[in-house]
């Protein structure tokens, strides 16, 4: 290798063949639960107009202020947007989902929609455990419903996905941050409290005091967190409607059998949240232990030019969740990924073309099959068959080929018997069916 090799960029990572088991398990669990809960799949572009996040995510948020990857569009107008607009690699999934909802006029064809998405996001932040510059999210947006039962459904759905994926050590934290009617009085009380200890706050929080004081509660600086811990709590200042909403959310979660902890200073880091906010945490991540965050955002559709439409949703951090799954050993990692059905072992080099024909025939029959392409000895091929996780191996030698046959070996029991080559696929399918592994 050269003295100055080209490596992946900081904050990005490769996912190698033997690292996919947890990823597949999480996404399969999510798809199962989305189907059970009636959510339809949505895919949005990676590139979006930067104004979508400035208006939607919030101009004073860390994401918009410091973390967005934004570039100017071409000046010749070929992009169809006049050539003067800024384009951003999406840093989160909610504003694009709402943009798609409005652009497709879903609100005119029955306002209520339950959508889910999965894909890469991009933020220019300091890489650390479970947090990358290119990362992935799985999220949901329940659009058009103001019932507290819908808040509870999204929390129970997130918990169900993690449970389905094999996680058992997640902790759910919830809070209510009120609404535009009751939040101003809390902002005033919070600012008054924080100003008494302003010297203990970081530089960013000095600015937040005037621009968006609630953001101080979301600061990760240890000194700021200590000050925030002594600040007033919004729960004591909720209006009657928000208080009732929060009580119904908690009752519904209790009824769903998910335990939770009330976190009185939980606000989340995005400006659009109202009322219910929540996070799911896992100790495998250390200090920054959130693997899923969400809440209600009743004003976002209006901010983006649509009619008043209450919404609630969440986003799971995939990379952070995979770390939690690895910590709990929710899946067995095997090099090469999932085990295949059949590994064809060639005992005679002259028979390799016939072995390849057999591999091709097995694949056409719907069985996953492979063979050696590196000229290994038969003993090393058998080791590769074991390493591949194959359920069966088909042992082919010169004498077997003269009879147009091969030895079919069960890799679990070690038993083998001779079968005609043309009947090998049928025999393997029959054995898979008998073992329940169809």
Strand order across the 416-420 sheet:
369-371, 342-346, 392-396, 405-410, 416-420
Are 324 and 346 contained in the same domain? no
Number of domains in the chain: 2
pLDDT digits over 16-34, tens only?
888 888 999 999 999 999 9
> pLDDT class for 337, splitting at 50, 70, 90?
very low
Q: Give φ, ψ of 362 to 5 degrees.
A: -65, -40
Domain stop point among 266, 293, 328: 328
Q: How confident is the model at residue 83 (pLDDT cuts 50, 70, 90)?
A: low
* Domain-embedded: residue 200: no
pLDDT digits (tens, 9 = 90+) for 316-325: 999 999 999 9
Instruction: Judge contact between 69 and 132, C-beta under 8 A.
Output: no
Helix axes 240-255, 148-165, angle to 10 degrees: 30
Q: Is residue 193 part of a domain?
A: no
d(CA 433, CA 164): 25
Mean pLDDT is lowest, of 159-168, 196-205, 378-387, for 196-205
User: Is 215 part of a structural domain of the chain?
Assistant: no
Instruction: Produce one character per residue of 53-71: b if its CB has 16 or more CB atoms within 10 Å, e if not.
Output: bbbbbbeebbbbeebbeee
Reading phi first (left if > 0) and then psi (alpha if -120 to 50, else beta), residue 42 is in: beta
Mean pLDDT rounded to a whole number for the chain: 88
Residue 135 dihedral angles phi and psi, to the nearest 5°: -135, 175
84-141: pLDDT as tens digits? 689 999 999 999 999 999 999 998 888 899 999 999 999 998 887 778 899 999 999 9
Q: Among 232-236, 306-310, 344-348, name the one with the lowest average pLDDT.
A: 232-236
Question: Mean pLDDT highest for which of 29-38, 52-61, 102-111, 337-346?
Answer: 29-38
pLDDT, residue 332, reads 46
Q: How far is CA 184 from CA 56, 238, 265, in A?
A: 20, 10, 16
Q: Does an H or E element contain 402, and which?
A: helix 398-402
The answer to whether residues 35 and 122 belong to one domain is yes
Domain range enclosing 371? 342-434
pLDDT at 211: 80
Last residue of a domain, one of 272, 296, 328: 328
- Is 364 within the bounds of a domain? yes
Task: State whether 148 and 286 are in the same domain.
Answer: yes
Range in 127-141, 159-173, 213-227 with the lowest mean pLDDT? 213-227
For 278-288, write each residue's pLDDT tens digit: 999 998 888 78
Residue 335 pLDDT greater than 70, yes or no? no
Q: Is the pLDDT of residue 81 over 60?
A: no
Determine the pLDDT at residue 307: 94
**Based on the domain organization, do 315 and 395 belong to the same domain?**
no
Q: In terms of domains, do 244 and 158 share one?
A: yes
Higher pLDDT pick, 288 / 328: 328
Residues 296 and 367 in one domain: no
Mark out the alpha helices in 256-308 (DSSP H runs). 300-303
Identify whether 221 is part of a domain: no
Give yes or no for a contact between 370 and 361, defined as CB atoms under 8 angstroms apart.
no
The CATH number assigned to the domain holding 356 equals 3.40.50.800
Task: For 231-277, write each residue's pLDDT tens digit.
Answer: 888 888 999 999 999 999 999 999 999 999 999 888 876 778 899 99
- What are the distances in angstroms from CA 140 to CA 30, 246, 278, 296, 341? 10, 20, 14, 12, 35
What average pLDDT does this structure show over 32-38? 96
Confidence of residue 220 (pLDDT cuts 50, 70, 90): confident
For 417-427, the pLDDT digits (tens) are: 999 999 999 99
Task: Find the helix or strand (DSSP H, E) in which 244 lies.
Answer: helix 240-255
Helix (H, G, I), strand (E, B) or coil at 307: coil
Q: Residue 345: is its pLDDT beyond 60?
A: yes
| 181 phi, psi to nearest 5 deg | -80, -40
Cite the DSSP H helix spans in 89-218: 94-103, 148-165, 183-195, 203-211
Pair (67, 126) in one structural domain: yes
């Amino acid at each position: 290798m050269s003295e100055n090799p080209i490596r992946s960029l900081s904050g990005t990572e490769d996912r190698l063949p033997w690292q996919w088991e947890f990823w597949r398990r999480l996404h399969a669990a999510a798809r199962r639960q989305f189907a059970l809960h009636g959510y339809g799949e949505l895919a949005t572009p990676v590139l979006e107009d930067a104004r979508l996040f400035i208006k939607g995510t919030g101009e004073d948020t860390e994401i918009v202020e410091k973390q967005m990857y934004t570039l100017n569009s071409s000046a010749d107008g070929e992009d169809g947007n006049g050539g003067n607009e800024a384009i951003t690699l999406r840093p989160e999934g909610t504003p694009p989902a709402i943009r798609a909802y409005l652009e497709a006029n879903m609100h005119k064809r029955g306002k209520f929609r339950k959508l889910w998405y999965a894909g890469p996001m991009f933020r220019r932040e300091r890489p650390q455990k479970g947090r990358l510059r290119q990362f992935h999210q799985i999220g949901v947006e329940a659009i058009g419903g103001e019932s507290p039962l819908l808040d509870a459904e999204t929390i129970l759905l997130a918990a169900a996905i993690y449970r389905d994926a094999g996680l058992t050590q997640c902790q759910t934290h919830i809070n209510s941050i009120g609404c535009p009617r009751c939040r101003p009085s809390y902002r005033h009380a919070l600012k008054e409290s924080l100003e008494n200890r302003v010297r203990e706050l970081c530089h960013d929080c000095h600015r937040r005091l005037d621009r968006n004081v609630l953001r101080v509660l979301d600061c990760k600086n240890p000194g700021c967190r200590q000050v925030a811990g002594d600040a007033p709590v919004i729960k004591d200042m909720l209006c009657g409607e928000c208080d009732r909403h929060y009580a119904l959310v908690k009752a519904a979660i209790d009824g769903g059998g998910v335990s939770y902890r009330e976190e009185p200073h939980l606000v989340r880091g995005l400006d659009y949240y109202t009322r219910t906010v929540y996070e799911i945490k896992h100790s495998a991540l250390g200090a920054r232990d959130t693997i899923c965050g969400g809440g209600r955002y009743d004003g976002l559709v209006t901010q983006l030019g649509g009619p008043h439409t209450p919404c609630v949703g969440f986003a799971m951090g995939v990379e952070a969740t995979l770390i939690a799954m690895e910590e709990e050993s929710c899946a067995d990692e095997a090099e090469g990924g999932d085990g295949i059905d059949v590994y064809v072992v060639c005992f005679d080099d002259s028979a390799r073309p016939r072995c390849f024909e057999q591999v091709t025939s097995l694949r056409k029959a719907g069985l996953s099959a492979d063979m050696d392409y590196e000229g290994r000895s038969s003993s090393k091929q058998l080791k590769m068959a074991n390493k591949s996780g194959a359920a069966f191996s088909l042992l082919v030698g010169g004498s077997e080929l003269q009879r147009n046959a091969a030895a079919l070996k069960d890799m679990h029991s070690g038993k083998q018997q001779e079968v005609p080559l043309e009947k090998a696929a049928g025999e393997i399918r029959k054995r898979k069916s008998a073992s329940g592994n169809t």
